[in-house]
Amino acid sequence: MVGARGGFAFCGWRNKRAPPAMWHSPTDSLLYPGGLLPRTNPMRQDNRPYTLVRLLGAYSDWYAKRFLHPQFESIGPGADFRKPTCFEIVGPRVSVGDHFHAMATKDGRIRLVTWPETEGRIEIGSYVALSPGVRIKSATSVKIGDSCVIAENVYITDADWHGIYERIYPPGEMAPVEIGNNVWISDRATVLKGVRIGDNSIVAAGAVVTSDVPPDTIVGGVPAKPIRQLDPNARYSTRRDMFQSKKPYEELEEDMERRFLGPNRWLDWIRSLISPSPRD
């Protein structure tokens, strides 16, 4: 889970040889098919010049502030949207805390949806990261605590959206969802109505959570069952720690970009798009 600019905004600092397909910028459409330059298969490393990456990042920030920020009921400082053109808010009463990070992709749009007729509400805490393909739908209330990591294609909902026999009119049966602090929800997991997930817990990939999860617990399966109990006295590192350095997080990100991408040259990048070689 890496980002469009520095690539380490979500789970850590990326290696220069990480697959670029994971962190293409929101302006890909300007540079590839339908745009100015041909699109090639993903390279083994990032050949983009540092200046280009900073320009694309500035555009991404401008787009998010111009078109996404006004749609939130409230949004804290430090929000970072990767591929913001693929991030959707449908309905009112959506709020996020400080340093909210969302990385969408063309084939993994992020959607936050509230049902207006029943006053659905989505409240997301600080230092939360949403990965490509995340969908959160609320007919009553979905609350997500601080420092949570929501992996790709996770679905969270507080309603059935139709009844077992009455299958025409939404939203069906509803019950609030509450997710604690520092919760990790893995790929393709589903969290259904009425669920409470305790602090520091982990939901395994592909799990379907239909009942409450205690704190410091790993659950998995369909329906999800406890797999392992974590040490409640252990010291957890959390996404909040990324923003507690003496040096602002944004400066750390820029330093890493300069370190990895500074040597890249414009001509080499263009050549890698048109005629890639094994070194790319």
Q: Which long-range contacts (CB under 8 A, 24 or more apart) does 60-64 make?
A: 60/4, 60/5, 60/25, 60/26, 60/27, 60/84, 63/26
Tell me whether strands 184-185 and 87-90 are parallel, antiparallel or unpaired.
Answer: unpaired
Catalytically annotated residue among 24, 69, 99, 162: 162
Name 15's Cβ contacts closer than 8 Å, sequence gap at least 6: none
Strand order in the sheet with 74-75: 74-75, 94-96, 122-124, 142-144, 177-179, 196-197
Catalytic status, residue 101: no
Identify the helix (H) or strand (E) that includes residue 261. Answer: helix 249-261
Helix, strand, coil content of the chain in percent (nearest 5):
20, 25, 55
Six token digits for residue 172: 């069906």
Q: Which has the closest alpha carbon to 105: 14, 238, 174, 4?
A: 4
Longest dimension (CA), the chain: 63
Specify whether the CB–CB gap between 158 and 142 falls below 8 A: yes
* Letter string b/e over residues 77-107, b meaning 16 or more CB atoms within 10 A of that residue's CB: ebbbbbbbbbbebebebbebbbbbbbbbbee
What is the distance between the alpha carbons of residues 188 and 153, in angstroms, rounded to a whole number? 5
Residues serving a catalytic function are 162
